[in-house]
Amino acid sequence: MVFESAVYTDVTSDESVDRLDGFGFQAVSDGIDGADRAVVVSDLLHVKSRSWPFDRDETEHPPTAVYLRGERGFYFSRGIATGKTNSGRDGNQLTQAVVTRDEDDIHPYRPAQICAAKNWKLEKESSLRSEKWFAPLEIDEAFENEALVTMLREDAWAAATLPTYLSMLHAALDSSSTKVIVIHDDLELVLKWFAVGTLLLPPEDALSLGCRAFATDPFRTTAQLVGVHPDLVTESLYGAHVIDLTAHTASEVPITPEAARIAAWVNEHDAFDAIEAAALGGRWMKATDAEVGGNGVEMVLGLRTVEPGRDEWEIGVSLIEGLGKAGLRDDLELYFDEFSDSIASYGIRSADDATRAARAARYAADTDVTGLAEAVLVPSLEALAADPSTASAWASELDASGGWRTLHLSEPDRIADLFAEVILGTAANALPQLLHLAAPLAEHLPPGRLNPAIGRAASYLLEDPRQVSRNIISWYAGERIVQHLRRTLLGELADHTLSHARLARELGDGAWDAIIDDDSPDSDTRALAQWREAARIALKPADKRDQAIEDSLEKADSDPSLPRLQPECWNIAIGSEEGPELEDPRLLALWVRRVGLDDTLREECIWLLAPVLQRGSKTAKTRDIKGWLELAKVLVAADPGAQDHLEAEARLNEILREIPSAKNRAKDGFSGAMSFLSRRRHSDASDERERDE
């Protein structure tokens, strides 16, 4: 690839690309357009400091080197003061600028190293067309990676200051964006510090740090890495992190754990390993933390001895999770073998192990790195098959994001076989999650192999319907389980000898909604929806149920898709929790009149009427008898030919006529009282005669 180039200085019209006298472009390559030229003029030019002494030769003014990442590419420049302009005025300068659109033209170097390429000439071109630079560029030997690391190691102060310097660079990259200022009078030395510092960052971070040296106003430049010449320091540098290479001083900053780890690599390993570890570690430690990321880098690069076992497994699962979460797919793919080996070195033994292994598998699946999720799943499933006690924790975490369901497996038969072993051996409370996870493996499981687990799962759900998830139909054998649940519930509801109090509460509270609201057109679903409607009415206060019944029927009449109450649901809708008993027969009369009457309900009504018909009229209350009479009349209307209904109506009318009126009850009460007093007076008189005798 290529770097486009340009030269900007004071020109005559004959020298000018634009045929104008004065400052302008003396030469450009054909890839430099108007937008590039605007960047050069606004951000890349060499600028004379306002504080430069008038009596000092301008050509002694410190030079300039700049790097910035723009919207259209990566821009570099170097500039020098050249003395007088063509018109004899002070302040002439020459800036050479280059731009590349492709960051690969910069790698394996860092931007400050490009500023030390041998292509820089810092002079006018012989024509209006400047030369392109073709990558890879040749760099000054003093700026090669090993030379820069050696520079740090051979200077005791530099080596001791490295953790501080790296911590400053990390601060420049974080939300504070605190500038890092390097002070010295040698531009090449400042650029070396820029280069070595950014070499110890991930390449993407290095490219994001703008550089400018020597800056005439360090706080006005947009660059985060700023070089300042001692002769150009005119104001306090407070607010920046400062490294003074002349005075060997540095601002006090907290040393980040990442910086300390990278500095240790520089001191302990050769330049190649240290730079590779720093570039990789910068990403990994940011995605996890200094310990996990640092240990992981040392593991995959062979910089430490890691014994197979829990420590190596711990590094592996932590990194797969952290790198997967951060989207570092390329790193996971590049070091696939190392991660696989670390995971295989240990089998999960606790609920925490299971959760962490599942989470790693989930993030591995999300990256879609071929075989990575499988590398995590196989040892986990092998361990769970041997001891399924942590299967519930494992399954819950694996299913947390749904990534498993889109996983492409290279050995699905093996995974399916291990899954089946875990499912058959696990406790019932883990079956819902495991059967959901097993669904994509259905074609790889022999028919009937999981039947025992399917039966246990259905029984478990009947005991605890809170575990019936909305996606139950998508489980392995989900349709079979749902059909079994529906038929079991309907069978229980049809048995009027049982108490349905618990089931009614479950239906009313929505515990069984998942197997009712799945848009299934079968009759079992519709029947359960009708029972649920009755259960919802049962949740109303007793004095509000009549209106709830009317409201439900009105809605069903206006929308046929809604469940309509059925006669057999009466004992849930208006019965008591203890059994089929009613305090208010008028509510039952409303039910029969508005909902309907079937054989079972007819028998229940006769059974309820029997003790009322047998009671004497003297103990009966008019209001109660009128309520039962209303029910009897409704029954007759519903089935005019039923003799028992007619007899019940006649007997209730008879009882109602025989009930004493209020006046008769008062008369009878008065007569009873007088009789009692008469008997008492007679008894008292007899007692007195006996005493006299």
| DSSP tag of 445 | S
Kindly give the residue spans of alpha helices, DSSP state H, lying in 41-186.
Answer: 111-114, 145-153, 156-173
CB 73 within 8 Å of CB 50: no
The pLDDT value given to residue 252: 95
φ, ψ at 572 (rounded to 5°)? -85, -45
Query: How many percent of the chain have pLDDT more than 70?
Result: 92
Judge contact between 8 and 24, C-beta under 8 A: yes
Q: Which tens digits make up the pLDDT trace of 569-582? A: 888 888 755 444 45
Model's pTM, two decimal places?
0.76
Q: What pLDDT, on a 0 to 100 scale, did the predictor assign at position 673?
A: 47
- Domain ranges for the chain, please list them: 1-155+169-226
| Nearby residues of 208 by Cβ (< 8 Å), 6 or more positions away | 69, 173
Residue 40 to residue 24: CA distance in whole angstroms: 11
Contact 242, 215 (CB under 8 A): no
SS3 278: helix
Compute the mean pLDDT over every residue in the chain, rounded to the nearest whole number.
89
Q: For 9-32, what is each residue's pLDDT tens digit?
A: 999 999 999 999 999 999 999 999
* Residues 506-555 pLDDT 10s: 999 999 999 998 766 778 899 999 999 999 998 888 889 899 999 999 99
| pLDDT tens-digit map of 105-141 | 999 999 999 999 999 999 999 999 999 999 999 999 9
Check if the beta carbon of residue 398 is closer than 8 Å to that of residue 439: no
Report the pLDDT value the prediction gives residue 612, as an integer from 0 to 100.
87
